[in-house]
Structure 1
Amino acid sequence: MPSVESPRLPTVVDVAKEAGVSRQTVSNVLNTPDIVAPATRSRVEQAIASLAYRPHASARRLRTRKSSTIGVRLDPVANGISGAVLDRFLHALTERADEHGLRVLLFTAKDPLDEVAQFRRLLDGADVDSFVLTSTSYDDPRTDWLLRAEADFVSFGRPWGSDVADPARRWVDVDGHQGVAEATRALLDGGARRVVFLGWPSASGIGTERRQGWRDTMLAHGVLAPAELDEVDLTVDDQVSLASDRIGELAAHLAETGRTIDAVVCASDSLALGAFMVLGRSVPVVGYDDTPVAAALGLSSVHQPVEEVAHATLDLLLHQGPAARVASPGSAADPRHRLLAPRLVLR
């Protein structure tokens, strides 16, 4: 049976013949339309529409050094609980980018320095036009390198340890202090007195902010003396089993003096699950991230508006705004920084 050949797609040459202009004029209309006379530009645009011509993406990238692509590192996931937040963010970012004719390119890297090497490779090959950073940290080498390279980027997370109002460092973040403070207040209003905080041991902007939300709220209510507060300020790596062990140790220690854990607020749903496995439903436990695991178990948790984060990230990439320093980072009038409010989900 003879094969059926696909119809030939129109080329720049076909458009040029149809419009009665040179190939260069067609290229100018496609890439730098402002330099073409209006009447000529209109004639070329009519020819493009008549022939249903579509520029070849790869050829356009080589000509213009623009790929309409955003690069995002796919973070390694230590466990499937906390990784759900990044999954939601990537889905929302990809959907939002598609609405603007943009693509998201995911890549992997072993560590921040390896990620910088990937930045260089992707920029040199014109594979991406901009980057979205996740998992920001103190003394983050990625942002400094991108600034020196004059690359376009926005961070999901504040530039911890740097000037958060710096107009060159555009970021979108969720107010972790507010989220944990709201959770702590809800537990205190429910009659709890000894509210334990279960957080991470390493110095991180995210972890420190969430811990401070608990501590500030506890101090404001004056329910525990500073020494008692330190006693129930727990640190552990973000693993369910380690969280269970740590809560079990504290419960046994308090029981020696006739005291109990009234409630627990955690820096993540992974830690909340660990606490829940020891305490059950006899003690209120609040997590952070409102993952499907928390919802399935009926655990209260702080919900991050990840879809709003993705929308704000794309807005900052597409509309850079004035470069002047702003006095109130994160405010509605701030063109460079967005600090979004989380929401406590009680179950």
Structure 2
Amino acid sequence: MTHVLVTGGAGFIGSHITTGLLDRGHTVTVLDILDPYYDLRIKERNLEQCRAAGGDRFQFVEGSVTDEELVCDLLSEGDVDVIYNQAAQAGVRASVENPKKPHRINTTGLLTLLTAADEFGIRRFVNASSSSVYGEVDYLPYDEDHQTVPQSPYGVTKLAGEHYCRLWEEIYDVSTVSLRYFTVYGPRMRPNMAITNFTSRCLNGEPPVIYGDGQQSRDFTYVDDIVDANLTLLEDDDCDGEVLNVGSTRTITIEELATHVIDETGADVGLEYADPKEADARHTHADVSKARELLDYEPSTGIREGVSQFVDWYRENRDWYEPLVLESQNVSSASA
């Protein structure tokens, strides 16, 4: 079995990748700084699920990917084979408000990991990138050759990370792959996302709040499909140096999404509109032909089915999750 280091493994996507690896019998070390970007109680529950899934095959280390000594200590024993870099300072809007913060984790931290991966002979380095690298729309759906003109500091750091991975593949012979995620959602997702806010408000008899005219569209990707793409890369050797879109291939407008959440929750509410938010992309839509060809990637969960599953999960976990969602609504607005 493979020993995998998952950075940012206490977060939403990272913890799902971790439990996916553990369920398949692998050994996982999670490195996470436990940044309170959102409520740490969610990350603590994520880690509980990881421990339950892995037992003595799971180890958690609290620390930063920018800590060169710590990263080298984790890799120096020689038994880590693969790194999944999910550590990131997320948030398009947050990066506009504080543009320096994402650089430290998303760029400097990535360089620390890549340098250590070269030094200690890591077999495969899988980097989490983002559809935010595209920015301005030239045509849709985005394929990987579409122009990359990020519209936020977050998108810039993710694009820089892709280029660093490419260089480490070409110059230092580290096998790297970057996956461009398209708006990932599902159980245990960040509490300040659009779907969580829509669900919370509907279950409490309040209308979903849409920022802008609601005609902006997103390619929402269910987290299980993201996990499947990542785990395929454990053994696949056809993607060295590649950048791959990982999306659902289908889009929905934010207005349609809000209406669907109303239907799924059975709420007797309408829609509410507010001013648009700065740096939000107007449309996203993934062409996954390349991932389909190289990884046999085929997204299995459409947005309507995924929202239904999320609403069911929300209801089952409402006693602990909803207070965190309500708290996040007091300090930030929904992110699509």
| Pair in the same fold by TM > 0.5 | no
TM-score by length of 2: 0.38
Higher gyration radius (CA): 1
TM-score by length of 1: 0.37
